[in-house]
Structure 1
Amino acid sequence: MQQKVIGLIGGMSWESSAEYYRIINETVRARLGGLRSARCLLWSFDFGEIEALQQAGRWDEATAALIEAARRLERGGAEFVVICTNTMHRMADAVQAAIGLPLLHIADPTAERIRAAGIRRVGLLGTAFTMEQDFYKGRLAARYGLDVLVPEADDRAAVHRVIYEELVRGRVEPASREAYRAIIARLVERGAEAIILGCTEIMLLVRPEDSPVPLFDTTALHAEAAVDRALAGH
């Protein structure tokens, strides 16, 4: 049985998309051995165009762009779709409704792993859109019964700024790692038993040693779940 073809919607940012590609291929090689690698297609956006739509609140146009990307992957032979970003799961339901392929939602493998660890109260770091809107927190609460804490307003602004001014530009600053460590500590003080790295670039900055509680890296968990789907039946 051949691997299923993974359709990756990336470029938001390319730094995290490169991590998806690396993790997916390393995981396939580890599981299948030898020279094996993943069968995948990648549609990569110009993130400057997407970021402008995000900041202007032009979500309908962003949704249309993601739907078109998913349809391109479907026409190209993808057998399921992965959106390589947390924030753009804001339109995941609309994308799923517009295509004939399954969409592997980033929140699901993350929540499943958290529940398997016996954790119920989690802190969430991500863009302001992910932390403040309900499309992500609501799914974690409604489908998985998780109690989701987000940082206070000043801390949310700091987390968002580092993502857009540094991480998506390829900058990893020690001062920002210290700032994130302090923000994580404050979430733990409020009762967080674990922290979700709910932006696919945060894993470039934050490491397990930066947190007194377990970290759940959505990039790695999503990529590994994509391999599970691609290799199902092997």
Structure 2
Amino acid sequence: MKKIGLIGGISWVSTSDYYTLINKGVNEKRGGLNFSECLIYSFNYADIKRNNDNNDWDTTFEMLLKAAEVLKSGGAEAIVLCANTMHLIADKLQSAIGLPLIHIAEETAAEIQKKQIKKVGLLGTKFTMELDFFKDKLTEKGIETVIPNNEADKDFIHYTIFEELGRGLATDETKKRYIEIAKELIKDGAEGIILGCTEIPLVIKEGDLNVPIFDTTLIHTTAAVNFQLS
């Protein structure tokens, strides 16, 4: 089994899901007492959030690079960033660390292609929705991406990711608003909805919408399991 390094704490809630899903995935394929051989470097989320608020991606990159170096020194053969937004610096990190980085957007694009979908709605932090680092990976595969048009909707998603979901809080009111926003994207022609933040599965579940849901946490962890057992 190949050893992987998880960079988490962004937030601890989704990192816990990553650890659980990867271990379950390995066990489903290998059985017995076989589970994932992995290392985890978990950040204090407040430090990352402070950098985000100041648009200081250089400091975040240096933090993630040091974390990746620790994982590499521990024998990790690939890096998994347990957060969509951190993939803004994923390509740069992969070049610097000299290890494969299992890219969440590339793996998501591959899953969308399997369903022969050409237009998807993307929900995530404002960084993920508005910047190109995630959408470009979809464009490369001929997939069009739409995001909420309403600034208030984008602000709501961004705020609740950090202030509610990132703390493990999920209310019925928040779930209702997320579903309403997703349905607006479907009206705009989205044939599927990407849960482009690893905490959004707390409020949107399979069956909540009448189009396919692409849970990036599940897609990413499945890819990590496949790498470990390859």
Query: TM-score over 0.5 for the alignment?
Result: yes
CA drift at 1:209:
2.3
1:139 paired with 2:137, answer yes
Find the partner of 1:175 among 166, 173, 178. Answer: 173
- CA distance in structure 2 between the aligned counterparts of 1:156 and 1:147, rounded to whole angstroms: 19
> Residue 133 of structure 2: SS of its match in structure 1?
helix
> What secondary structure sits across from 1:34 in the alignment?
coil
2:54 matched to which residue of 1? 56
The SS at the match of 2:76 is: coil
The equivalences for 1:33-182 within 5 A come to 33-141=31-139, 143-152=140-149, 153-182=151-180
**TM-score relative to the length of structure 2:** 0.98
> What is the CA–CA distance in structure 1 between the aligned matches of 2:17 and 2:54, rounded to whole Å?
28
- Residue matched to 1:20: 18
Quote the residue 1:202 is aligned against. Answer: 200
Give the counterpart letter for 1:10 in structure 2.
G
Q: 194-203 or 130-139, which moves further after superposition?
A: 130-139
Shift of 1:205: 1.5
Counterpart for residue 187 of structure 1: 185
* Cα deviation, residue 170, structure 1: 1.3
SS, match of residue 79 in structure 2: strand
Q: Does the 8 Å contact 2:126/2:154 carry over to 1? A: yes
Deviations 1:110-150 (A, max 9, x none): 11010010101000000011001111112211x21110000
Q: TM-score, normalised by structure 1?
A: 0.96
Shift of 1:108: 1.2
Q: Quick one: which amino acid aligns to residue 87 of structure 1?
A: T
Partner SS state of residue 73, structure 1: helix
Cα offset for 1:101?
Answer: 1.0
**1:39-78 CA distances to partner (integer Å, 9 max, x unpaired)?**
0000000111011101111111011111111111111100
Percent identical residues:
46
SS at match of 1:122: strand
Paired residue for 1:212? 210
Using the alignment, how far apart are the partners of 1:170 and 1:181 within structure 2? Answer: 18
1:15 counterpart SS class: helix
Question: How far apart are the structure 2 equivalents of 1:37 and 1:131?
Answer: 34
* 8 A contact 2:109–2:137 mirrored in 1: no
- Name stretches of at least 5 consecutive residues in structure 2 with no aligned partner: none
Moved more, 131-140 or 116-125: 131-140
Q: Deviations over 1:144-193 (max 9, x none)?
A: 11100001122111111111110001111100000011001100000000
Runs of 4+ with deviation above 6 angstroms: none
